[in-house]
Amino acid sequence: MAAHKAEELNGRKTAGLVAVLMLQVLEPAAAQQSLVRSYDNAALEIGQAYLSHYGDRCLAILPTHVAEEAGDIAAFLREGTEPLLGESVAVADVGDDVSIADLSGGITADCGYSTMAVSRAVSSRIKANALASVRSVSGDGSIAQLAVTIIDDDGERFLRVQPTNDMNQLRKGQSGSLLMSGDTPIGMLLSVNARFGVGKVIRLDKMFEKVDRFVSGGGAMAASMPASKPSAAQTPSSAARQPDKSGAITSWSALPIDADHRAGNLVANDESPPWIANVDAWPVDIEMDLPGDRIAIAGIELDGRGVTDIGTLPATVELMVSGSESGRRWRSVSGGALTFEDGVATIAIAPSWARHIRLVISSAANGGKTVALARLRVIPAS
């Protein structure tokens, strides 16, 4: 009887241990990060950022020197098998080489944990664990981790770390990476001393003290691009059927060739240049939120006037609409090859209610890896 109870108890312990191990394997890291790039050199990985949201604001927390190197508008690629893109709208320096950026773009649809939900209780983990890891996002959205040792703790604000293996060194592009204790972030890598291979880290609790002061003090809000009318030079023959306000570009899946040719230019009402993007992989998606409540639309116009290389105009597309208020429930309404006449292609559809539209571009006219379009306009139903 006693042997049977002991065996049962051991079985329960084993099952409990297996459950704990499974949780450790399956539980994702309590963090979400992004790679930071510059539109002027999209191939260069400048650094990393920590993503968190405050209400409907998507915030990126990153080293100030990374934000400065990225230029006036930094590009962000969120981690994941289907990484989302975004860009900075406003950046604020909050001290100690820490900056906070308000983001726009598809990245805002999944922007990490709430600033209120991020645990600041890191002291016990720092004291209990000399071993940690530096977590960063690779160019394809995958996660890389480097084992490090905490070699110094000033007991107040900063830590210093060093790789456990001399063959694996910290590098400049890892600034902004998270210092992890298991699956829990405990700090952010601010800078790397290339000579000694030592990284300077700000504790997560001290970093979020800055974030809390920033958001509670009414730090710079991400302003929406103003809705606008097409100019006289841009207005097609069907202008009488155009809505009073254009929509807003909310998501794009390909980086522009530079900061002057961003996706937001598709709804600009000034002399902004066309959208031109380098394509890593087809298809390329563009999403637009329509103004106000849902509206009945009869199609869209793709304006290629102003694109110098007509071979980069979209050749094959699919138009999808969503009428849902929360989330996206996409419905395909048209697709096929485009024909541009006098620089403008029209996709006509049966009148459909829509709050959002998605243009899926499958190829460019010349079969290359660059796509361009000057303006994108919605045609309201009569």
Indicate the pLDDT class of residue 194, thresholds 50, 70 and 90: confident
Q: For residue range 11-34, what is the model confidence (pLDDT) as tens digits? A: 544 444 433 333 333 344 667 999
Q: Please give the share of the chain, as a percent, with pLDDT higher than 90.
A: 73
Q: For residue range 126-185, what is the model confidence (pLDDT) as tens digits? A: 988 889 999 999 999 999 999 999 999 998 999 999 999 988 999 888 999 999 999 999
CATH 2.40.10.120 residue window(s) in the chain: 26-223
Give the pTM: 0.83
Asked whether residue 326 carries a pLDDT value surpassing 80, the answer given is: no
* Per-residue pLDDT at 166: 86
Q: Which residue has the higher pLDDT, 19 or 75?
A: 75
Q: For residue range 273-321, what is the model confidence (pLDDT) as tens digits? A: 999 999 999 999 999 999 888 899 999 999 999 999 999 999 999 999 9
CA-CA-CA-CA torsion sign (30, 143, 136, 141) = negative
* Per-residue pLDDT at 241: 40
* Per-residue pLDDT at 220: 58
Helix ranges (H only) for 57-203 are 64-70, 123-128
Helix H or strand E segment including 16: helix 2-26
Asked whether residue 79 carries a pLDDT value surpassing 70, the answer given is: yes
Beta strands in 138-213 (DSSP E): 143-153, 158-163, 178-181, 184-193, 198-203
In angstroms, the CA 76 to CA 167 distance is: 29
* Per-residue pLDDT at 135: 97
- Which of the listed CATH numbers 3.40.50.1100, 3.30.300.130, 2.60.260.20, 2.60.120.260 matches domain 239-380? 2.60.120.260
CATH of domain 26-223: 2.40.10.120
CATH 2.60.120.260 residue window(s) in the chain: 239-380
Sole residue written with tokens 């990490």: 112
Asked whether residue 240 carries a pLDDT value surpassing 60, the answer given is: no
DSSP code at position 336: E
